[in-house]
């Protein structure tokens, strides 16, 4: 994914951002609402088997849900469960290999790092992703998916579209970004909800008033304000992307520390959101608290020209998922304490989030 939006820089990055960003912007997303809602609906039907059991781990369940949403919105059909799992497993190996290769770069070259398996993983990713793209392109009748939108678009400035290789890189980026990070955010939201029955009650009241028993539409999103507030507060207390690395382009003075050009600086979002200056009760789950007017006080999607282009996508997915869960279920806690945060690629709940799931009558 060296040339994908998330990894590239300079002219390549600008071109890809100009092409990809409008496709996952709010207006275009309206066309994806139905695909998203049906994918979430199917995932939640399968939760029924776990209703009224003593515990249900929502973390793996959200992996399934976000994978379903991704395959439908990207390719128009799916779930492609087997293919997606194959790609994600191969990606996991390649990311770990790259990390190992960087850390152990000073070791002699004969030390086995698993290069053969790395090359095999890349071939596996290529084969599967190119096949899924081809299937998506031949998906007669369903043309409102992201692959079709990306293929149809050209850059206003250069009149160029994405090449086959760029499209493959973007699909991999969207798979990586849209799967694990979103799944973790939703699991954290459920962790907070089970520990705050008053918030759960307000969520129930909102969905009962706005939706009743029917499936949500794009126009309902504006009315489901509390669901969105729950999501924002979750991302504030548990920012799924927990660090923003930047390379200093010139010598800088940061917090009275000298940072020479070329040095990597890392902003820890957790520390920004929990800063004692940023509210009376930092760390306490308060969906209703007024938005902080200070520019760098809330950054779950980053800031500036490299900020998240999937923000509208994930806010829509998260808002719909939380509202549809609240429509059907009451979640209660199975432990007195919140899950332990674990730092990995995304901020994960260690061991998942176990809840008791009761079907609402």
* Contact stretch for ligand HEM (CB under 6 A) within 41-49, 195-203, 302-310, 325-333: 302-310
Q: Does 181 bind ligand HEM (CB under 6 A)?
A: yes
Counting beta carbons within 10 angstroms of the beta carbon of residue 202, is it exposed (0 to 12), middle (13 to 18) or buried (19 or more)? middle
Catalogue the E-assigned strands of the chain. Answer: 56-57, 243-247, 252-254, 257-259, 264-268, 329-333, 341-343, 347-349, 354-359
- Among candidate residues 51, 58, 45, 61, the one with its CA nearest the CA of residue 359: 51
Token pair belonging to 122: 């890349």
Q: Does 310 bind ligand HEM (CB under 6 A)?
A: yes
- Among candidate residues 264, 286, 263, 255, the one with its CA nearest the CA of residue 273: 286
Q: Does 6 bind ligand HEM (CB under 6 A)?
A: yes
Query: Are 144 and 13 contacting, i.e. CB atoms less than 8 angstroms apart?
Result: no
Q: How many residues does the chain have?
A: 361
- Out of 300, 322, 353, 357, the only residue in the binding site for ligand HEM (CB under 6 A) is 300
Q: Does 232 bind ligand HEM (CB under 6 A)?
A: no
Sheet arrangement for strand 56-57: 56-57, 354-359, 329-333
- Among candidate residues 269, 268, 263, the one with its CA nearest the CA of residue 246: 263
Counting beta carbons within 10 angstroms of the beta carbon of residue 295, is it exposed (0 to 12), middle (13 to 18) or buried (19 or more)? exposed
Distance between CA atoms of residues 22 and 26, nearest Å: 8
User: β-strands 264-268, 243-247: how paired?
Assistant: antiparallel
Choose between 204 and 311: whose C-beta lies nearer to ligand HEM.
Answer: 311
* Contact stretch for ligand HEM (CB under 6 A) within 91-99, 189-197, 276-284, 296-304: 296-304
3-state SS, residue 182:
helix
Choose between 53 and 102: whose C-beta lies nearer to ligand HEM.
Answer: 102
* Stretch 24-43 residues interacting with ligand HEM (CB under 6 A): 24
Distance between CA atoms of residues 248 and 262, nearest Å: 5
- Out of 14, 17, 137, 202, the only residue in the binding site for ligand HEM (CB under 6 A) is 17
* Contact stretch for ligand HEM (CB under 6 A) within 34-42, 220-228, 235-243, 290-298: 235-243
* Contact stretch for ligand HEM (CB under 6 A) within 41-49, 87-95, 172-180, 254-262: 172-180
Token pair belonging to 81: 């469960």
Q: Does 324 bind ligand HEM (CB under 6 A)?
A: no
3-state SS, residue 297:
coil
CB of 101 to ligand HEM, least distance (A): 22
* Contact stretch for ligand HEM (CB under 6 A) within 45-53, 160-168, 206-214, 240-248: 240-248
Q: Does 313 bind ligand HEM (CB under 6 A)?
A: yes
User: What mask of x and - would describe binding to ligand HEM in positions 40 to 79, judged by CB under 6 A?
Assistant: ----------------------------------------
Token pair belonging to 88: 């994600």
- Out of 85, 158, 307, 342, the only residue in the binding site for ligand HEM (CB under 6 A) is 307
Q: Does 234 bind ligand HEM (CB under 6 A)?
A: no
Token pair belonging to 131: 């096949």
Nearest residue (beta carbon) to ligand HEM: 310
- Out of 1, 43, 185, 207, the only residue in the binding site for ligand HEM (CB under 6 A) is 185
Choose between 5 and 129: whose C-beta lies nearer to ligand HEM.
Answer: 5
Q: Does 174 bind ligand HEM (CB under 6 A)?
A: yes
Q: Does 177 bind ligand HEM (CB under 6 A)?
A: yes
Binding residues for ligand HEM (CB under 6 A): 5-6, 17, 24, 173-174, 177-178, 181-182, 185, 235, 240-241, 244, 300-302, 306-310, 313-314
């Amino acid at each position: 994914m060296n040339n994908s939006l998330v990894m590239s820089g300079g002219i390549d990055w600008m071109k890809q951002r100009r092409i990809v960003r409008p496709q996952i912007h709010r207006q275009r997303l309206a066309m994806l609402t139905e695909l998203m809602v049906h994918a979430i609906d199917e995932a939640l039907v399968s939760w029924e088997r776990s209703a009224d059991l003593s515990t249900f781990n929502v973390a793996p369940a959200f992996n399934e849900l976000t994978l379903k949403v991704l395959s439908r919105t990207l390719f128009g059909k799916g779930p492609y469960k087997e293919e997606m799992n194959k790609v994600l497993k191969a990606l996991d190996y390649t990311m770990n290999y790259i990390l190992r290769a960087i850390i152990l770069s000073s070791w002699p070259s004969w030390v086995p790092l698993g290069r053969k398996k790395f090359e095999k993983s890349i071939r596996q990713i290529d084969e599967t992703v190119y096949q899924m793209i081809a299937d998506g392109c031949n998906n007669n009748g369903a043309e409102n998916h992201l692959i079709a939108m990306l293929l149809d678009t050209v850059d206003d400035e250069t009149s160029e579209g994405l090449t086959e290789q760029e499209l493959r890189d973007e699909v991999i980026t969207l798979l990586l970004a849209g799967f694990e990070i979103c799944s973790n955010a939703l699991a954290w939201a459920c962790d907070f909800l089970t520990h705050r029955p008053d918030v759960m009650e307000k969520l129930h009241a909102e969905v009962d008033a706005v939706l009743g028993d029917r499936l949500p539409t794009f126009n309902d999103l504006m009315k489901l304000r509390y669901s969105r507030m729950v999501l924002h507060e979750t991302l504030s207390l548990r920012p799924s992307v927990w660090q923003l690395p930047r390379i200093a382009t010139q010598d800088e003075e940061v917090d009275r520390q000298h940072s020479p050009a070329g040095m990597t600086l890392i902003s820890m979002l957790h520390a920004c959101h929990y800063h004692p200056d940023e509210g009376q009760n930092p760390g306490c789950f308060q969906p209703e608290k007024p938005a902080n007017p200070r520019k760098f006080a809330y950054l779950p999607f980053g800031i500036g020209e490299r900020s998240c282009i999937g923000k509208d996508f994930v806010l829509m997915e998260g808002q719909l998922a939380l509202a549809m869960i609240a429509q059907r279920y009451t979640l209660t806690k199975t432990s007195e304490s919140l899950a332990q945060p674990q730092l990995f690629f995304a901020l994960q709940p260690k061991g998942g989030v176990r809840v008791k799931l009761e079907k609402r009558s």
